[in-house]
């Protein structure tokens, strides 16, 4: 799971299901079938979700494993960040941020989105550099990979991802799964269900000699070897303790059996893993029946064109300046542009967890984490920027990989009709006016033939048909003027 999730976040494969089986995306998309399945798995096996399905948890396990290879590490029950009091505090903060529409707070706490930002902002540049090196070293790799240049799309997103990576590496190196049992709202929620699980890790006091090997090996610091107890709320059922015990005192047992049961009733670590994985392999292909609710309002353009939208949030009513890599002003827009098939601003911001999957998989790289475009509440949520390309009319990758339904799935035929913005012409910066030259770049590159030229005075200037324009951004991208003489405004008003 961790390997597949990482390859998907790097854009190497498109295994969109790895995002959809995560708990927070399933909750936001109202995927009732998957939520019931994850709840049943936890009630039967314990917090196996955290050790098998969550890529951030597996990343912490990898750091813990490396730590044990390079130094003598001995975890102890109840370390300073074990999280008895901090866990409900972070859960309350996350719920408060969601209710108050401060969307970056739950996005920072969601383990799937946090791991997505770590990979897309940290590991993705390394992957692009590796691809370029392979293509330069051997031209044969050019048939497999395309050389891409990494551009820092958001300094804020990069800084947040770097800070989270440092925090996770340090805490995992010292204590193990600190994030899971201190910060993560998913882990805290599942911890309540795991207290009722039918199978659990338990210590047989009749066999235990109090050596403490299981406690030292436990990556969640949930085993109290001195008293022979296991904190089931923090246990992620990784079986490391069972492997460390050479007396068979620690095992995976049925909750209602006695700890002093004969050895035949104890399930070995390998057998337990095989049992759980077989269940997962059987149940995961079940249809994900939930669908995100669709909240749409009506709006009208000046020429009477109908489109689906919502009223502009007052916090977003400000002009956003966009600069190119040389620091030159490219364009200014009042309304940010959302990805295609998002429609309502409040719905998109509510459902998006800023995992950056759509950002990585966008072939023209027009999606990037927002900073001020949506206001303070929409930090890190993907927005559209046409400085590197335009929205391909024959592409729907962003909708294919979106795990929450914030970008609703759409067909290519539907994309030819739906709007994500409308082009606005500014004659004051058009080269046909300022330089007295003929230019029809926007006309030639418009895939919808929504732009024509009209004569004003003795010059030909563009005229936009809002009735045909879908806001793909081809005109803005190919416009040679700086600032752009034609740009796209989002449909938020």
**Exposure letters 354-367 (e unless 16+ CB within 10 A, then b):** bbbbbbbbbeebbb
* Both tokens assigned to 111: 């383990």
d(CA 335, CA 228): 60
Structure confidence at residue 146 (pLDDT): 59
DSSP label of 405: S
* Both tokens assigned to 413: 């035929």
Residue whose tokens read 């752009």:
484
Structure confidence at residue 151 (pLDDT): 64
User: Out of 3-12, 109-118, 217-226, which region has the weakest mean confidence (pLDDT)?
Assistant: 3-12
d(CA 366, CA 51): 35
Structure confidence at residue 367 (pLDDT): 92
pLDDT tier, 264 (very low <50, low <70, confident <90, very high otherwise) = very low
Indicate whether 287 pLDDT > 60: no
Mean model confidence pLDDT for the chain: 78
pLDDT digits (tens, 9 = 90+) for 416-464: 888 888 898 888 889 988 888 889 899 999 998 999 988 887 888 888 8
Give the pairing type, strands 223-224 and 486-489. unpaired
Structure confidence at residue 286 (pLDDT): 38
Query: Which helix (H) or strand (E) is 463 found in, with range?
Result: strand 459-464
Structure confidence at residue 306 (pLDDT): 33
pLDDT digits (tens, 9 = 90+) for 451-465: 998 888 788 888 888
pLDDT tier, 297 (very low <50, low <70, confident <90, very high otherwise) = very low
Q: Tell which residue, 237, 220, 188, has the closest CA to residue 78.
A: 220
Q: Tell which residue, 204, 224, 234, has the closest CA to residue 47.
A: 234
Structure confidence at residue 231 (pLDDT): 85
Structure confidence at residue 334 (pLDDT): 76
All residues at 6 or more sequence positions from 298 whose CB lies less than 8 Å from its CB, including other chains: 306, 308, 309
| Sign, CA torsion 135/141/142/147 | negative
Indicate whether 314 pLDDT > 60: no
Structure confidence at residue 474 (pLDDT): 93
Q: What percent of the chain has pLDDT over 70?
A: 77
User: Average pLDDT in the 40-62 region?
Assistant: 91
Structure confidence at residue 391 (pLDDT): 93
471: left (phi over 0), alpha (psi -120 to 50) or beta: left
pLDDT digits (tens, 9 = 90+) for 462-484: 888 888 899 999 999 999 988 88
Indicate whether 315 pLDDT > 50: no
State the CB neighbour count (10 A cutoff) for residue 237: 28
Q: What percent of the chain has pLDDT over 90?
A: 15
Structure confidence at residue 342 (pLDDT): 79
pLDDT digits (tens, 9 = 90+) for 401-421: 999 888 988 888 888 888 888
Does residue 82 contact residue 182 with C-beta atoms inside 8 Å? yes
User: Average pLDDT in the 236-252 region?
Assistant: 87
d(CA 68, CA 178): 16
Structure confidence at residue 475 (pLDDT): 92
pLDDT digits (tens, 9 = 90+) for 331-389: 667 788 889 887 667 788 888 989 999 998 998 989 989 888 888 778 889 999 898 89
Structure confidence at residue 206 (pLDDT): 85
Q: How far is CA 38 from CA 61, 273, 307, in A?
A: 21, 17, 38
User: Average pLDDT in the 43-65 region?
Assistant: 90
Angle subtended at Cα 471 by Cα 468 and Cα 475, rounded to the nearest 5 degrees:
95
pTM (predicted TM-score): 0.74
204 phi and psi, to 5 degrees?
Answer: -85, 105
Structure confidence at residue 492 (pLDDT): 60
State the CB neighbour count (10 A cutoff) for residue 149: 11
Q: Tell which residue, 397, 421, 413, has the closest CA to residue 469.
A: 421
State the CB neighbour count (10 A cutoff) for residue 421: 27
Mark out the alpha helices in 138-174 (DSSP H runs): 155-174
Q: How far is CA 456 from CA 49, 179, 462, 475, in A?
A: 65, 63, 10, 20
43 phi and psi, to 5 degrees?
Answer: -65, -25
State the CB neighbour count (10 A cutoff) for residue 84: 12
């Amino acid at each position: 799971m961790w390997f597949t999730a990482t390859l998907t976040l790097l854009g190497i494969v498109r295994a969109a299901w790895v995002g959809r089986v995560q708990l927070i995306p399933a909750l936001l998309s109202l995927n009732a079938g998957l939520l019931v399945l994850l709840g049943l798995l936890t009630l039967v096996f314990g917090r196996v979700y955290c050790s098998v399905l969550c890529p951030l948890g597996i990343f912490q396990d990898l750091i813990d494993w490396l730590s044990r290879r390079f130094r003598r590490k001995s975890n102890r029950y109840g370390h300073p960040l074990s999280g008895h009091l901090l866990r409900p505090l972070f859960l309350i903060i996350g719920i408060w941020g969601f209710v108050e529409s401060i969307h970056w707070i739950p996005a920072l706490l969601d383990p799937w989105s946090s791991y997505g930002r770590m990979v897309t902002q940290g590991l993705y540049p390394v992957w692009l550099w590796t691809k370029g090196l392979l293509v330069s070293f051997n031209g044969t790799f050019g048939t497999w990979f395309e050389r891409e240049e990494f551009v820092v799309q958001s300094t804020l997103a990069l800084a947040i991802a770097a800070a989270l990576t440092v925090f996770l590496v340090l805490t995992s190196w010292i204590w193990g799964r600190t994030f899971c049992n201190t910060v993560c709202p998913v882990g805290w929620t599942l911890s309540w269900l795991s207290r009722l699980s039918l199978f659990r890790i338990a210590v047989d006091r009749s066999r235990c000699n109090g050596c403490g090997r299981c406690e030292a090996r436990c990556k969640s610091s949930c085993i109290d070897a001195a008293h022979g107890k296991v904190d089931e709320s923090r246990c992620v059922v990784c079986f490391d303790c069972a492997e460390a015990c050479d007396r068979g005192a620690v095992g995976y047992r049925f909750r209602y059996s006695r700890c002093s049961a004969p050895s035949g009733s104890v399930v070995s670590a390998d057998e337990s893993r095989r049992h759980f994985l077989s269940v997962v392999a059987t149940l995961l292909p079940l249809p994900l029946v939930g669908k995100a609710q669709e909240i749409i309002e009506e709006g009208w353009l000046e020429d009477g064109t109908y489109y689906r939208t919502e009223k502009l949030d007052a916090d977003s009513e400000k002009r956003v300046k966009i600069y190119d890599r040389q620091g030159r002003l490219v364009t200014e827009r009042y309304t940010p542009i959302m990805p295609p098939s998002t429609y309502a601003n409040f719905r998109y911001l509510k459902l998006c967890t800023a995992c950056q999957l759509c950002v990585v998989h966008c072939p023209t790289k027009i999606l990037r984490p927002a900073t001020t475009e949506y206001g303070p509440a929409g930090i890190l949520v993907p927005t559209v920027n046409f400085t590197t390309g335009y929205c391909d009319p024959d592409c729907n990758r962003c909708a294919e990989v979106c795990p929450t339904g914030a970008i609703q799935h759409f067909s290519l035929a539907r994309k030819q009709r739906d709007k994500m913005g409308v082009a606005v012409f500014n004659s004051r910066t058009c080269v046909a006016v300022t330089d007295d030259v003929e230019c029809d770049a926007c006309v030639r590159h418009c895939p919808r033939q929504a732009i024509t030229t009209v004569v004003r005075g003795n010059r030909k200037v563009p005229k936009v048909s809002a009735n045909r324009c879908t806001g793909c951004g081809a005109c803005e991208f190919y416009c040679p003027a700086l600032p752009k003489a034609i740009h796209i405004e989002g449909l938020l008003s």
